[in-house]
Amino acid sequence: MAQVTVLSSAPGPEPVPALGLLSHQVRRVPADASQLVTASNSDLVIIDARRDLAGAKSLCKILSSSGNSVPIILAVTEGGLAALSPDWGISDVLLEQAGPAEVDARIRLAIGRNPSDANQTPIRASGVVIDEASYSAKVRGRPLDLTFKEFELLRFLASHPSRVFTREQLLSEVWGYDYFGGTRTVDVHVRRLRAKLGDLEGLIGTVRNVGYRFNLSEDDAAEEE
């Protein structure tokens, strides 16, 4: 789950309505220079350029020239695409009608390309390698095709090997406090994650009547002793 700041002064609905269907924590603030400090404390910034391309370009350049390392995604209309160029200093663009899957993927990729994450050490446990910088995971060298939530669930469990988490704890840590779905969501994602782990599905262990944990292999467990 990412902390997303949306810079927009346009009245009416959100610049990218599909963002509201995702579980990222979103703050919408006015699109002016006084809000750039707030934006720089986020994982990602979305700047609304649908009605004011010139103003959006100015904000992009201010953020880029101030040493900002937070990726910037520009929300534009299809007609605004022709005005964009590399000197805007943005990471990506989104059309306002983009669907939830596309919005989530672009956020994930923009954060994954962020240079400030380049020095993060991959998580390695029991044949699984999780690279938080690129939002990618491999099992025994084989890339895993994971959704954003599947990746976050695997990353969280592998970061706390052998520790048992209840479904409620996983909902809070992976989906966020503002998620209103039930704990069945956790079970569904665990089932999908196990299927993608293949013969290593046992890495995601079930503790009956409690929850789930990441099981270390015997070799990894011996190293920790």
**Greater confidence, 164 or 183?**
164
| CATH top class, domain 3-116 | alpha beta
pLDDT score recorded for residue 14 = 85
Residues 174-225: pLDDT tens digits?
A: 877 556 667 888 999 999 999 999 989 999 999 998 999 999 875 554 444 4
Domain residue spans of the chain? 3-116, 123-224
Residues 103-150: pLDDT tens digits?
A: 998 898 888 775 544 445 778 888 899 887 667 889 888 899 888 888
CATH of domain 123-224: 1.10.10.10
- To the nearest whole number, what is the mean pLDDT of the chain? 83
Kindly report which listed range (65-74, 135-144, 154-163, 199-208) carries the lowest average pLDDT score.
65-74
pLDDT score recorded for residue 223 = 47
| Structure-token match 């046992």, residue found | 202
Report the alpha-carbon angle 156-158-164, nearest 5: 80
